[in-house]
Amino acid sequence: MKTSPILGRYLVAKEDIKAGDIILTVPPLVIGPIQVQGKPLCLSCYKEINDFNLPVRCEGCGWPLCSKMCQNSYQEYGHTEIECSFLRRSENKPGYNFNYHLYDFILPLRVALLKYTSTQKWTEVQKMQSHSKLRKKNKTFWNNDQIMIDCMKKECSVTEFTDQELHTICGYLQVNSFAVEHLGVSGLFPTAFLFAHDCVPNTTHIIDSKFNMTVRATVPISKGEAVTLSYANTLQGTMVRRAFLKETKFFNCICKRCSDATELGTFISAVKCQICKNGYLLPIDPLNKNSIWQCSCGDEKTEEIISLYIKKVSDEVEKVKNKSITEMEAFLKMFSSKFHPNHYLLITIKCLLSQLYGKSNRYLLHELSEELLLRKIELCKDLLQIFDKIEPGLSRIRGITMYELHAPLMIIATSIDKKNSEKYLKSQLKYIKFLLTEANLILSFEDSTSKEGQIGCAAKAALEESKQWEQLFGKL
């Protein structure tokens, strides 16, 4: 561990690390439901509870559980005896009046209870930054937390913790927690909270169904180099990432990607100049959020105008995301004259399309025309070129896109209508084998219950099948 005036404490490589190497595997300190999920779930195993007509409830506190199996099974990372004794004090239980907001205080309560249940875990949590002074300045965070704290205190007659202590816990969670969206939970982890952020991270992490976290290197990391992960969505532009990091993690990111207006040559935030219709508007000073945006033709726009336009199109993206393939393609066509083809708003839709072609109703792989197969190939290849720069190496998104790319390539290469030469076929199969090997390697790290894990299994099966090609064509 090192310390710097900018990053605070951060972790560096003790020795050279290879891509794919495990850097850390740790069990959580605490796990709980993601706040503001708005859905009832089992306090023990976090399965969603859909049927409130037949609720199984904890015999101690009366909170909903998913099944008899979870009843009274006090679990370290689920419903514990001490939590039950607190929840028992409340008359209100989620379910009858849809009072699901009660779930919001479960995770903060669990962190607070560590003080009584585990000195070692509580000591580890207290090492984390809560940024309380900065958080207090943000009235929205502070007031929302106060509502949650008042609710916890009222419902469970909590007198054991002061408001200040509970606000600090909210800070620990905001700054240091890791969410597992597909399991509907979030938690704090020892050591992992020390990784610094970078908008081109050199690691990826997974949290498995037992909540253990594994951090792996996605690219080689040299001895002494910072080991980083991304706290922000790497598939968004600098303006959005930096605003998110400032608002929720309280720092101004000055990483290599943020400092470069082109974002490492991807042009992921570039807006097409409507004056010369040729060049792109980019911020003159990307680290200044109020920077003027300029095109090489000399045209300039204020940040305000750019932001307003981006906001308007972002709203359109949100709407079109759930629409049909045809509507998404129409959206891309309409905005292709407004943005660089790699703009993140277009990339969001291109990512969805790269997966929908081949999966969606009436667009199953065997139903795709050659034109649509080629479209899927084009989308995947465009995306991979961007990911190579912003999510390089063994990143999840590269693994998924490589898997998506292999299928249309395979269909075209092996099409009987095409009289492909053996040489051509062999070179295509070699490329497909490379894609599957890479996708299998990347996605084999994933939890098998997750969507990515399932794609990983499919990649593995396809790779197995590819061995038959070698019987026909010799070593690929």
User: Which residues form the interface with ligand SAM (CB under 6 A)?
Assistant: 6-10, 128-129, 131, 175-176, 193-194, 196-197, 249-251, 253
Residue 124 CB, shortest distance to ligand SAM, in Å, is 12
β partners of residue 281? 271
Give whichever of 129 and 360 is closer to ligand SAM, judged by the CB atom: 129
Measured distance CA(47)–CA(78) in Å, rounded: 11
Residue 132 CB, shortest distance to ligand SAM, in Å, is 12
Give whichever of 9 and 136 is closer to ligand SAM, judged by the CB atom: 9
Q: Which long-range contacts (CB under 8 A, 24 or more apart) does 204-209 make?
A: 204/229, 204/394, 204/395, 204/396, 204/445, 205/178, 205/229, 206/445, 206/446, 206/447, 207/28, 207/178, 207/180, 207/183, 207/447, 208/447, 209/183, 209/447, 209/449
Measured distance CA(74)–CA(424) in Å, rounded: 61
Give whichever of 10 and 363 is closer to ligand SAM, judged by the CB atom: 10
232 by Cβ neighbours in 10 Å (0-12 / 13-18 / 19+) ranks as: buried
Give whichever of 9 and 223 is closer to ligand SAM, judged by the CB atom: 9
3-state class (DSSP) for residue 32? strand
DSSP secondary structure code for residue 262 in this structure: T
Cβ(216)–Cβ(227) below 8 Å: no
Residue 136 CB, shortest distance to ligand SAM, in Å, is 15
Supply the DSSP string of 236-250, one letter for each residue: S-HHHHHHHIIIII-
Phi–psi pair at 127, nearest 5 degrees: -75, -15
Residue 396 CB, shortest distance to ligand SAM, in Å, is 20
Residue 250 CB, shortest distance to ligand SAM, in Å, is 5
Residue 248 CB, shortest distance to ligand SAM, in Å, is 9
In sequence order, the 6+-apart residues with CB closer than 8 A to the CB of 89 are 155, 156, 157
Give whichever of 176 and 466 is closer to ligand SAM, judged by the CB atom: 176
Give whichever of 131 and 406 is closer to ligand SAM, judged by the CB atom: 131
Residue 194 CB, shortest distance to ligand SAM, in Å, is 5
Residue 216 CB, shortest distance to ligand SAM, in Å, is 18
Closest CB to ligand SAM: residue number: 8
Give whichever of 6 and 416 is closer to ligand SAM, judged by the CB atom: 6
Give whichever of 8 and 224 is closer to ligand SAM, judged by the CB atom: 8
In sequence order, the 6+-apart residues with CB closer than 8 A to the CB of 179 are 34, 185, 186
Token duo for residue 156: 């469970």
Cβ(256)–Cβ(264) below 8 Å: yes
